[in-house]
Structure 1
Amino acid sequence: MDVDAVAWVRWATVGAGGHVARRTSAWWERLVAAREGRAPQPLVHAVLEVVVDGVAMDVDMGPTWGRTRGTRRVVLSGPVGSRWLGWCALFRYELRVVDAGRRPPGVLEVGDELRLPADVLALLADVPAYTWGRDEAAVGEMWTSNSVVSWLLERAGVRGVEPPRGYRAPGWAAGARVARR
């Protein structure tokens, strides 16, 4: 594969754009931390910005009901929480490629520049549509938007990208584990 695309992982605080996500994520993290016997940590959401032939695009996953304005290409859609709830738009997510001009609120950190194959976005066709919030792949961690970004980086041959120090990115390890299969 030719390496002629560049990318950055942008880490945004979970829920920076809305009260529901911020509150439910904080509640969920407190429960998980108590179960694991550790202190709760702030959560982050990864967005992969890819530049190919001078065109910047973001690879992101979010609810279908919170559609991103502007040009977007939906790659796949999947259920949230439970497959049987997936019939309802409130319980569905979409994996999308969006023009990179719109930045999500709460961006904490932008990772180092990554060199990727020019056809990296073609890999998105192979992303599994697992249920968000479940460990259907049996890899020890739930599938999330973070899983998709780490899955894509792993498939593109990029290793060593980690969430910012002091933050947790639920699902990050799941994506890499599934991609290695």
Structure 2
Amino acid sequence: MARVGWAQVGAGGHVARRTSAWWERLVAAREGRAPQRLVHAVLEVAVDGAVRSVDMAPTWGRSPGARRVVVTGPVGSRLLAWCPLFRYELRVVDAPAPPGHVLHVSDELRLPGGVLDDLLLVPPLTWGRDEARVGDMWTSNSVVSWLMERHGVTSVGPPAGHRAPGWDAGRRVARR
């Protein structure tokens, strides 16, 4: 069993919420459309009775806890990746708490039990960049959509009126 939940970007902090809203206004103006609310995809997978979630976050400032780091990658620029401030880690977290400010949760999705093992195959692309040249930047949303696309789940997407930056990048990279 698996589900994708959608949480508001920056739900837990003023800085992320304000900078994301500012960034979305700029992107919307460049694309000639109205700004939308930004959301973050949270994938939860039940394996052998335990619920685990896929998380992408900075490598710094995190306590070890019950998590398994699967992939690390650069943030913003590969040239800065030597510094922990400019690296992310993709990890599997045990016993997740529900994401704050959940807007929508998908129906149960049929994914194989080994879907989390596929995280080892996620390309460590630079967060916030379009290194794959697919017209969308790589983000944590890209990882979730990459997994969904690899397993034939195409019915999941951001809630109406919301945008998940990077969602299309994951789908397009997975199709290659």
- Flag the 1:51–1:81 CA change in 2: closer, same or farther, 3 A: same
Secondary structure of 1:60's match? strand
Equivalent residue number for residue 54 of structure 1: 49
Structure 1: runs of 5+ lacking an equivalent: 1-5
- Flag the 1:26–1:68 CA change in 2: closer, same or farther, 3 A: farther
Q: 2:156 aligns with which of 145, 157, 161?
A: 161
Equivalent residue number for residue 28 of structure 1: 23
8 Å contact kept, 1:17–1:104: no
For 1:28-177, list aligned pairs within 5 A: 28-67=23-62, 70-177=65-172
How far did residue 65 of structure 1 move? 2.2
Q: 1:71 corresponds to which letter in structure 2?
A: A
Secondary structure of 1:98's match? strand
8 Å contact kept, 1:49–1:100: no
Moved more, 139-148 or 107-116: 107-116
Q: 1:39 corresponds to which letter in structure 2?
A: A
- Flag the 1:66–1:12 CA change in 2: closer, same or farther, 3 A: farther
How far did residue 36 of structure 1 move? 0.5
Take 2:159 and 2:40, find their aligned partners in 1: how far apart are those partners?
Answer: 11
Secondary structure of 1:114's match? coil
Normalising by structure 2, we get a TM-score of 0.95
Secondary structure of 1:28's match? helix
Name the Cα RMSD after superposition: 1.3
Equivalent residue number for residue 11 of structure 2: 16
8 Å contact kept, 1:75–1:96: yes
How far did residue 170 of structure 1 move? 0.5
Structure 2: runs of 5+ lacking an equivalent: none
Secondary structure of 2:162's match? coil
Take 1:100 and 1:41, find their aligned partners in 2: how far apart are those partners?
Answer: 31
Shift >6 Å, 4+ stretches: none
| Identity in percent | 74
Normalising by structure 1, we get a TM-score of 0.93
Take 1:103 and 1:80, find their aligned partners in 2: how far apart are those partners?
Answer: 26
- Flag the 1:68–1:98 CA change in 2: closer, same or farther, 3 A: farther
